[in-house]
A and B are shown apart, each in its own frame.
Chain A
Amino acid sequence: MPSHPEIIIEAGKSEHHYWRDVWRYRELFYFLAWRDILVRYKQTAIGLAWALVRPLFTIIVFTLIFGRLARLPSEGAPYSALVLVGMIPWQFFASAVNEASLGLANKENIITKVYFPRIIIPISGVIVNLVELAVGLAMLAVLLAWQQVAVTLNMLFLPLILLPALLLTFGCAVWVSALSVRFRDFRQVVPFALQMGLYISPIAYSAAIIPERWRVWYALNPFTGIIEGLRWSVFASSPTPPLQELAISLGIATLATASGIAYFRSIEKRFAELL
């Protein structure tokens, strides 16, 4: 029998070995994610294909409206691929954050009965969405091959640029999951904010259409740096990556994660009472 260290529960004191506990429960990440994936695709007629259908139709619609009808510039890249590159991090972010707003409430029966570090729930929620991210990347590979986009060394940077997207998603998911337990309003706010975000981020269009003088402000949206960075790596559209914007994105993502974890932990112990 594995010997367990002494646990001390004291009023008003935070967990002494929180991160050690997270490590001890590391398999739960996998199990929660696995369960959510199973549940999500069980009893749906086309199963995992849903991960393909959503981005596919969004791309078709956006390409028709913005590329064909509005004739927005795409800087030489195929418009559909331009949209897909924008959609990949956004879709990942949006569905992870949206689920985070419901995640803790859906797991109320577990939270009120069993102890484990609660932060595992938003983290594993993000892990679940990695599946769709992978599907999106596979789609991109197919689309690029079909559109005969040249393969460049820039593409090696793609995973590196996805890193701030991951971090940002995680930070926001932690924030939103804690806030939506504390304030029910967030279940309404989140879908609305995400809908806005879809339009104010350079997803359906290239950031090049933003007038020069607004660029600085526009870069404060962390998705500007991420998406433009990805486009740089995929299409090699400019000689240098948008380093400044990427630095802003990384900074915001780090800040969101650090503050998110701090806030989450500050109210975590009251979850069972608040739910």
Chain B
Amino acid sequence: MSYAIQAESVGKSFILHHQRNRPNDSLRDALAGSLSHLGRSLLRREETDQTEEFWALKDISFEIRPGERIGLLGRNGAGKSTLLKILSRTLEPSTGRIRIRGRIASLLEVGTGFHPELTGRENIYFNGAMLGMSKAEIGRKFDEIVDFAEVEQFLDTPVKHYSSGMYVRLGFAVAAHIDPEILIVDEVLAVGDARFQKKCIGKMHEISEEGRTLLFVSHNMHSIMQLTQRALVLDRGQMVCDADTRDAVTKYLSADAGEDISLPLRAKVDWIDDVNFRWLRQETDIGFNKPLNFQFCFTTEQHTSRLVVTIGFINTIGALVLTCKAELDHLQAGPQQFRLSISDHHLTPGTYFVRLDLWGSDEHLLEQDNVCTVDLFSASTDDRLIQRIARRRGDKFGCYAPITLQILHASESHQHD
């Protein structure tokens, strides 16, 4: 079977040195180390070694076919960067084997190796050569690179005078024009303005459509969803999921949610206790306007009448964009568990903070901001406006509902005058 990258039980361990036994990075330490080792073996005294082995990656196996677009997910410290560094051959694996077919270009940090004193032009040549391009190749692509980076005016200015945006654009432009068979991209899109991010995504699409392989790492689920078909999820050095991007993202996020089981909430009255509210993330499909389900539990010591629950959604700029309400006439005393489903919320993809309110027996029983966070993602089946909003982090938009537009006769509307 053909593959672009094949990894077989790859692992990477680091030796952590604790304070007592510093690494042998000074000559005296090395000399003293070998002497004390000699002494120890002569005296046959076992000494507790103050080092600890830490496995940053353990038993990772996967196969990527040529032309596949793969996302790599995982929290900080999950081992993503270590894996990428092994793939780009700057770190050596401790165990296992990797086979790579084709030229790899990695964008582990845009503008790698730019020298601040050199001009944009000089850096294009130098950077290109470092990423494995020949001088003739760079010469051929030069105009294209400059065009893409939009730095024509500043070509002969040392890059230390560049804005950070220009710097990143130039770095991405060089790397994207290497024509690699395999492109590894790590978090580039975090920088640069929306327009350039879009351009980068476009370029990456283009690269993958040409049958090249893309390995993309980002914390931005929107771009992962947009760009990749399949995703690998790493957790504490181990691969926990290798699936269709949609499933992998859901799994990654729900694993996250499982961890942050919200703190017990405090009611405003003392006869309500054990309040718990949680978004059932794993039950929420990816895509616009998919039902949102919540779980709500509390214990009441009194019989309550006219119970009202409201759930408010606040966007990232602090605006309350949607309030949903549920009612119940009577509630017996005792532990209660509810499931709340919101089907037609029309929230655009983005991040929302949830606010919870509870009324009963003509009292305001509970009032809590930020009980949980809801992240909504667009799917490729959504309408194009939604996808565009998602790409631009549409948190500011709130709800979106189509308008039925009816054209009335112009002459009739003018008759009033």
Bound form: Cα–Cα A38–B115 in Å: 10
- 1/0 per residue A226-241: CB within 8 Å of B? 0000000000000000
B85 within 8 A of A: yes
User: Is the CB of B323 closer than 8 A to any CB of chain A?
Assistant: no
Residues of chain A contacted by B132 (CB below 8 angstroms)? 24-25, 116
Residue in chain A with minimal CB distance to B133: A27
- Residues in A with CB closer than 8 Å to B113 are 107, 109-110, 113-114
B101 engages A6 (CB within 8 Å): yes
Q: Which of A1, A2, A113, A183 contacts B106 (CB 8 A)?
A: A113
A interface footprint on B38-53 (CB within 8 Å = 1, 0 otherwise): 0000000000000000
Give chain B nearest CB distance to A69 CB in angstroms: 39
Q: How far is the CA of A43 from the CA of B158 in the complex (A)?
A: 11
**Which of A7-15, A154-162, A214-222, A247-255 lines the interface with chain B?**
A7-15
B395 contacts partner chain A, Cβ-Cβ < 8 Å: no
Chain A residues proximal to chain B, CB less than 8 Å: 1-2, 4, 6-11, 24-25, 27-28, 30-31, 34-35, 38-39, 42-43, 107, 109-116, 182-186, 189, 269-270, 272-274
Evaluate contact between B125 and A11: CB separation under 8 angstroms. no
B103 touches A4 (CB 8 A): yes
* Inter-chain contacts of A185 with B (CB < 8 A): 26-28
Say which residue of B14, B90, B122 sits within 8 Å of A113 (CB atoms): B90
Contact among A30, A31, A110, A269 with B92 in the assembled complex (CB-CB below 8 Å): A269
User: What are 15 A-B contacts defined by CB distance under 8 Å?
Assistant: A7-B100, A9-B86, A9-B97, A11-B92, A11-B94, A24-B132, A30-B135, A38-B118, A42-B117, A113-B113, A114-B113, A182-B25, A183-B24, A184-B26, A185-B26
Q: A7-B100, A114-B90 are in contact. Are A35 and B106 (CB under 8 A)?
A: no
Residues from chain A with a CB closer than 8 A to the CB of B26 are 183-185
Q: A8-B97, A9-B98 are in contact. Are A1 and B179 (CB under 8 A)?
A: yes
Closest CB-CB distance, B292 to chain A, in whole Å? 41
A189 to B27 CA separation, bound complex (whole angstroms): 10
Docked Cα-Cα span, A30 to B133, in Å, equals: 13
Collect the chain B residues with CB atoms within 8 Å of residue A269's CB: 92
B96 within 8 A of partner (CB) = yes
Contact partner of A11 (CB less than 8 A), chosen from B85, B95, B135, is B95
Of all chain B residues, the one with the shortest Cβ separation from A42 is: B117
Chain B 152-196 interface 0/1 with A at a Cβ cutoff of 8 Å (1 = within): 000000000000000000000000000101000000000000000
A6 to B89, CA, bound (A): 13
**Residue from B25, B27, B101, B129 within 8 A of A31 (CB atoms):** B129
From residue A119, how far is it (CB to closest CB) to chain B in Å? Answer: 14
Query: A270, B92: Cβ atoms under 8 Å?
Result: yes
Residue pair B131, A38 in contact (C-beta under 8 Å): no
The residue that B117 contacts in the complex, of A6, A28, A39, A107, with Cβ under 8 A, is: A39
B91 at the interface (CB under 8 A from A): yes
Q: What 0/1 readout, one digit per residue, does chain B (260-286) give for beta carbons within 8 Å of chain A?
A: 000000000000000000000000000
Report chain A residues within 8 Å CB of B11.
Answer: 11
Given contacts A4-B101, A42-B117, A109-B112, contact A115 B25 (CB under 8 A): no
Q: Which residue in chain A gives the minimum CB-CB distance to B89?
A: A115
A268–B112 alpha-carbon span in the complex (Å): 20
Knowing A9-B93, A9-B100, A111-B90, say if A28 contacts B130 (CB, 8 Å).
Answer: yes
In the complex, A30 Cα to B126 Cα: how many Å? 10
A42 to B126, CA, bound (A): 16
Q: How far is the CA of A272 from the CA of B89 in the complex (A)?
A: 10
Contact A184 B25 (CB under 8 A): yes
CB-defined contacts of B106 to chain A, threshold 8 Å? 113-114
**A27 touching B91, Cβ below 8 Å:** no
| Binary flags per residue of B1-42, CB closer than 8 Å to A gives 1, else 0 | 000000000010010000000001111101000000000000
CB distance from A109 to the nearest CB of B (A): 6
B202 at the interface (CB under 8 A from A): no
B88 interface hit (Cβ, 8 Å): yes
Given pairs A112-B90, A182-B25, 14 additional interface contacts (CB within 8 A): A8-B100, A11-B94, A25-B132, A31-B130, A35-B115, A43-B117, A111-B90, A113-B108, A114-B108, A114-B113, A116-B132, A182-B24, A270-B92, A273-B14
Given contacts A113-B106, A113-B109, A114-B131, A272 and B91 within 8 Å (CB-CB): yes
A112 to B132, CA, bound (A): 16
Cross-chain contact B126 with A35 (CB below 8 angstroms):
yes
Q: How far is the CB of B186 from chain A (nearest CB, A)?
A: 10
Give every chain A residue within 8 A of B102 (Cβ-Cβ).
Answer: 4
* B181 pairs with A8, CB closer than 8 A: no
Q: Which residues of B contact A189 (CB under 8 A)?
A: 27
**CB-CB nearest in chain A for B9:** A11
B361 at the interface (CB under 8 A from A): no
User: Is B332 interfacial (CB-CB < 8 Å)?
Assistant: no
Query: A residues within 8 A CB of B117?
Result: 38-39, 42-43
Q: How far is the CB of B103 from chain A (nearest CB, A)?
A: 5
List A contacts of B125 (CB < 8 A): 31
Q: What 4 pairs between A and B have smallest CB-CB spacing? A: A115-B89, A31-B129, A185-B27, A269-B92
